[in-house]
């Protein structure tokens, strides 16, 4: 059985190291498994609809010195541990 990584319990901050974790059917699945650094954080009102506070956060990440042109939701990123 595959060990599925868990998202962080708190919002990520600029400078945090993360790994993209997306399902194969996600339109941005080409980024699955990439590791990078959070470079921008956006907070919106999505949590009002879902009643999960972390759903309000989206992130841009930099991979290999290049910022990806995708906003990832909190659930799409897991902490990079090494």
Residue 10 lies in a domain: no
Residue 60 lies in a domain: yes
Residue 9 lies in a domain: no
Q: Is the pLDDT of residue 5 over 90?
A: no
Q: Is the pLDDT of residue 1 over 60?
A: no
Range of the domain at 44: 17-79
Residue 45 lies in a domain: yes
Q: Is the pLDDT of residue 79 over 80?
A: yes
Residue 5 lies in a domain: no
Q: Name the percent of the chain lying above pLDDT 70.
A: 96
**Is residue 50 very low, low, confident or very high in pLDDT (cuts 50, 70, 90)?**
confident
Q: Is the pLDDT of residue 31 over 80?
A: yes
Tokens of 7: 């998202």
Residue 11 lies in a domain: no
**Is residue 52 very low, low, confident or very high in pLDDT (cuts 50, 70, 90)?**
confident
Q: Is 19 exposed, middle or buried (0-12, 13-18, 19+ CB in 10 A)?
A: middle
């Amino acid at each position: 059985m595959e060990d599925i990584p868990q998202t962080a319990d708190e919002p990520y901050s600029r400078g945090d190291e993360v790994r993209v974790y997306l399902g194969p059917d996600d339109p941005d699945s080409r980024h699955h498994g990439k590791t990078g650094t959070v470079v921008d954080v956006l907070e919106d009102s999505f949590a009002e609809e879902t009643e999960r506070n972390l759903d309000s956060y989206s992130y841009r990440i930099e991979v290999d010195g290049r910022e990806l042109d995708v906003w990832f939701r909190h659930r799409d990123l897991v902490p990079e541990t090494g």
